[in-house]
Amino acid sequence: MRSFAFLVSLILATLATSDAFHLNHRIDSYVTKGGRHGDGTLQYQDDSNMFDLQEGEKIFTGGSSSTSSRYDCDDATTSNMQAQQSSDRRYSASDWLYNLKTWKHSSILKEVRNPVIALSSWATLVSLLHKALQMAGRGNWALQMSIPAAAHSFLVSSIGLLLVFRTNSAYQRFLEGRQIWEQVSSKSRNLSRFITMYRNEVGSDRRKRIMHLLAAFPYLLRHRVRNACLCSNAADSIPEQNKLCLLEPNRPQNHCFVDRTRYPWSLLEQAQKDNHGQNNNILHKIAQVTNRPLWICDRLGQEIMEIPISPNFTSRERLKLLDDVGKLADAIGSCERIHQTAVPLHYARHALRSLTVWIVTLPFSLMKDFGLLTGPVIAMIAWLLFGVYQIGHSIEDPFQGSLRLSTLCEDIRRDILEDVDRRESAFENSENNMLQDHEFDLLSQTALYSATVSNLVTAQTAIATKQQQPMGVSS
């Protein structure tokens, strides 16, 4: 049994080592492209999740998932989008060998490595003590160290139920977060499409302002649930002319800094330019409010209320637009509910304490059968169970890295701003084609009618001439 276990361990180590150099090279290049922050911490190329390009798992410099809040996520470049798309692959059963080879770089393993190392070390110490007592002729003492395995067998179902409930509740929050952002995406696109359809009634300048405010909304909502602005020390890397100070009451210094040339701040500056110099302090206004996505909704409502009533744009159309803006405001509260409400602390603590006590006492049940292999066996069990618990903790707040918010924000901005010209040209071409087809049909019908009338007149003239001729006179 020991020889077989040693052989399996050797095979796993060989598979992991064969891929380690290539994967480490990709990780180093990925980090190098991101550079460093002003405080010296690594800045990864991805703005929200430090993802492995192939495995699609987080790569953290520390052991806590909360470190993602230290990274500036106000910009999503094309390379970020490509990196996220390459990590969106779905794994099937045929990928078992690749997943086995890359286990060493698992983010879950990095998160739970401390309890795994501690518990496996404890199990190894217990097994060594048990073996030493046997070799010293203290078999009775070694036998008294063992406890029946029935106790752990009875408790394993309860531990499993605790972990399953923990993970399921976290996944429901993850799914709800994605549904909220689906609503943000659909309502933003509907507003953009509606404004484009009534562009003549809305006006060119007001339409551009509404479009830029809509494009900035998802970025500000992401900033609301995952603050990414920099403190004073880290903001030294931002040029002074591009530095924008934001009011943040939840921070120790009550303020932080962002780069005004990045999204969404550059979109707000563009909306300011579209206003012909009016409200030229829009960035300073939004920097002083605490709920910035709600400020965008208020501004959108004001812009819609200023659209003049016309035969084509009536109160019904205005109420439809205001209702969509209200749905965007509802999404703010829904995101805040998930972000500010954690899984009940008593349940989380009880589940973690129960799991810890169960694994701490497990070596006393296994050492009689596994001997010196008790340590590796406990390490595997701790990795599996603590990994399940950590998965629930990681997706409990999906806005901190589980959801690709940067990709969603970039898609919404592209659909609203970059594709609007294509939609307009499509509308204009379709309208021109319809007019041309209608004119061609009118001309064709007119020509056919003229030809028919001419034939009728000619026929009637011939009949009248024939009737006027005397009888017996040949024509």
Q: Given this model, what pLDDT does residue 401 score? A: 83
Return the higher-pLDDT residue of 265 and 223. 223
Percent helix, strand and coil across the chain, each to the nearest 5: 75, 5, 25
Specify if 335 maps to a domain: yes
Specify if 264 maps to a domain: yes
Give yes or no for residue 345 having a pLDDT over 50: yes
Q: Which has the closest alpha carbon to 292: 222, 187, 244?
A: 222
104-108, 119-123, 271-275, 367-371: range with lowest mean pLDDT: 271-275
CA angle 325, 321, 206 (to 5 degrees): 95
Q: Given this model, what pLDDT does residue 47 score? A: 38
Q: Given this model, what pLDDT does residue 86 score? A: 44
Q: Which has the closest alpha carbon to 80: 59, 58, 49?
A: 49
| Max CA distance (Å), the chain | 153
Q: Could you tell me the pLDDT band of residue 58, with boundaries at 50, 70 and 90?
A: very low
Specify if 435 maps to a domain: no
Specify the DSSP element, H or E, that contains 232: none
pLDDT single digits (tens) 292-305: 899 999 999 999 99
58-62, 267-271, 334-338: range with lowest mean pLDDT: 58-62
CB 315 within 8 Å of CB 297: no
pLDDT single digits (tens) 302-324: 999 999 999 989 999 999 999 99
Q: Three-state DSSP class for 288?
A: coil
Q: For strand 243-247 and strand 255-259, is the pairing parallel, antiparallel, or unpaired?
A: antiparallel
Give yes or no for residue 18 having a pLDDT over 70: no
Spatial distance between the Cα atoms of 216 and 264, rounded to a whole number of angstroms: 5
Q: Given this model, what pLDDT does residue 133 score? A: 87
Could you identify the residue written with the tokens 């470190």?
A: 67
Return the higher-pLDDT residue of 77 and 181. 181
Spatial distance between the Cα atoms of 337 and 399, rounded to a whole number of angstroms: 12
Percent of the chain with pLDDT over 70: 63
Give yes or no for residue 405 having a pLDDT over 50: yes
Specify if 470 maps to a domain: no
Residue 67, amino acid: T
Whole-number average pLDDT of the chain: 74
Structure tokens at 106: 């698992």
Give yes or no for residue 158 having a pLDDT over 50: yes
CA angle 349, 355, 356 (to 5 degrees): 90
Burial class (CB in 10 A: 0-12, 13-18, 19+), 374: buried
Spatial distance between the Cα atoms of 327 and 332, rounded to a whole number of angstroms: 9
14-18, 153-157, 230-234, 321-325: range with lowest mean pLDDT: 14-18
Return the higher-pLDDT residue of 129 and 245. 129
**Residues near 191 by beta carbon (within 8 Å), at least 6 away in sequence:** 210, 214, 300, 321, 324, 325
Name, of 380-394, 410-424, 428-442, 459-473, the range with top average pLDDT. 380-394
Q: Which has the closest alpha carbon to 183: 408, 415, 416?
A: 408
Q: Given this model, what pLDDT does residue 451 score? A: 63
Number of CB atoms found within 10 A of residue 307's CB = 19
CA dihedral (326, 330, 331, 333) in degrees, to 10, reads: 150
pLDDT single digits (tens) 429-475: 445 555 455 554 555 566 566 666 666 767 676 666 666 655 544 43
- How many domains does the chain contain in total? 1
Residue 15, amino acid: L
Q: Three-state DSSP class for 112?
A: helix
Residues listed for the chain = 475
Rounded to an integer, the average pLDDT of 135-141 is 80
Give yes or no for residue 16 having a pLDDT over 50: no
Specify if 331 maps to a domain: yes
Spatial distance between the Cα atoms of 427 and 415, rounded to a whole number of angstroms: 16
Return the higher-pLDDT residue of 267 and 64. 267
Rounded to an integer, the average pLDDT of 3-8 is 40
Q: Please provide the DSSP assignment of 386-436 as one string.
A: HHHHHHHHHSSSGGGTTS-HHHHHHHHHIIIIISHHHHHHHHHHHHHHHHH
Phi, psi of 51, rounded to the nearest 5 degrees = -95, 140
Give yes or no for residue 87 having a pLDDT over 60: no
Give yes or no for residue 146 having a pLDDT over 90: no
Return the higher-pLDDT residue of 285 and 207. 207
Q: Three-state DSSP class for 329?
A: helix
Return the higher-pLDDT residue of 83 and 244. 244
Q: Could you tell me the pLDDT band of residue 284, with boundaries at 50, 70 and 90?
A: confident
Q: Given this model, what pLDDT does residue 46 score? A: 36
Rounded to an integer, the average pLDDT of 94-110 is 85
Q: Given this model, what pLDDT does residue 437 score? A: 54
Q: Given this model, what pLDDT does residue 323 score? A: 94
Give yes or no for a cis peptide into 264 (omega within 30° of 0). yes
Q: Given this model, what pLDDT does residue 231 score? A: 64
Residue 39, amino acid: D
pLDDT single digits (tens) 352-371: 999 999 999 999 999 888 88
Q: Which has the closest alpha carbon to 206: 329, 69, 280, 305?
A: 305
Specify if 86 maps to a domain: no
DSSP designation for 314: -
Number of CB atoms found within 10 A of residue 219's CB = 29
Specify if 62 maps to a domain: no
Specify if 266 maps to a domain: yes
Name, of 17-21, 43-47, 330-334, the range with top average pLDDT. 330-334
pLDDT single digits (tens) 196-218: 999 899 888 899 899 999 999 99
Residue 254: left if φ>0, alpha if ψ -120 to 50, beta else—which one? left
Q: Could you tell me the pLDDT band of residue 7, with boundaries at 50, 70 and 90?
A: very low
Phi, psi of 245, rounded to the nearest 5 degrees = -90, 125
Give yes or no for residue 279 having a pLDDT over 60: no
Residue 200, amino acid: N
Q: Given this model, what pLDDT does residue 368 score? A: 86
Give yes or no for residue 62 having a pLDDT over 50: no
- In sequence order, which ranges of 35-106 are alpha helices (DSSP H)? 78-86, 96-101
* Domain limits for position 228: 178-340
What count of Cα atoms within 13 Å lies in the side-chain half-sphere of residue 465? 8
